[in-house]
Amino acid sequence: MHGSLSRFVEQCNDVVASMSEAHDRVTAIAPLMHTLIADADEFLSDEHFRSDPDHYARNAIYICPKGDISLFSLVWLPGQWTPVHDHGSWGVVGVVRGMLEERSYMSVAGEIHGDSGIALKRGGVTLLNPSAISSFVPNPDHIHMTGVPTERQTCVSLHLYGRNMDSFHIYDVAAGTRRLIKVPHYESDG
């Protein structure tokens, strides 16, 4: 593992071990992510830039064996979007290349209990340029869709999650429902 990536993982593990609150963790890790994305060209390899013509691509960079954190490079071709989803975790995102767009949703009733009867309304939009950092915490869940409009260039972003991000809830806004899905990713050699 490259030195800057190894330091980042070690520092993130230290933060997780020393801080129990999600908001404290993302506050401590956001500047670490900013430093990491400045070194991205030094540790990202070709496998971290894999794309998929059918949907955005998730390329594993590091998944903690204990499941405490996971780091992915996401590659967004023009016109690729996530569904409306949450994470069930805290996280920190940094943009390496391109511009990532995030469209937020909010629960009309506040906290969500169950998988039906969920009324969501649109919130604001955030545009993340190279070196921009964003973070989120659960409870209330960060519900949004993220992607790149067709008129923009390919985007590459780094996503650190406070768990092995192998699943999340996707929302059917019109039906007022959500369901948990498995989220695939490409493996990396390390």
Query: Above 70 in pLDDT, residue 190?
Result: no
What tens digit of pLDDT does each residue of 38-52 get?
Answer: 999 999 999 999 999
Q: What is d(CA 151, CA 49) in angstroms, rounded to the nearest whole number? A: 20
Q: What is d(CA 11, CA 43) in angstroms, rounded to the nearest whole number? A: 17
Predicted local distance difference test score (pLDDT) of residue 36? 97
What tens digit of pLDDT does each residue of 66-117 get?
Answer: 989 999 999 999 999 999 999 989 999 999 999 999 999 999 988 888 999 9
What tens digit of pLDDT does each residue of 108-165 get?
Answer: 988 888 999 999 999 999 999 999 999 999 877 789 999 999 999 999 999 999 999 9
Predicted local distance difference test score (pLDDT) of residue 139? 75
Name the packing angle between helices 3-18 and 22-38 (round to 10°).
170
Predicted local distance difference test score (pLDDT) of residue 67? 87
Q: What is d(CA 77, CA 97) in angstroms, rounded to the nearest whole number? A: 11
Exposed/middle/buried for residue 41 (C-beta within 10 Å: 0-12, 13-18, 19+): exposed
The model's confidence at residue 186, banded by pLDDT at 50, 70 and 90, is confident
The structure's pTM equals: 0.94
Residue 12, helix vs strand vs coil: helix
Q: What is d(CA 137, CA 22) in angstroms, rounded to the nearest whole number? A: 6
Mean pLDDT over residues 31-44, rounded? Answer: 96
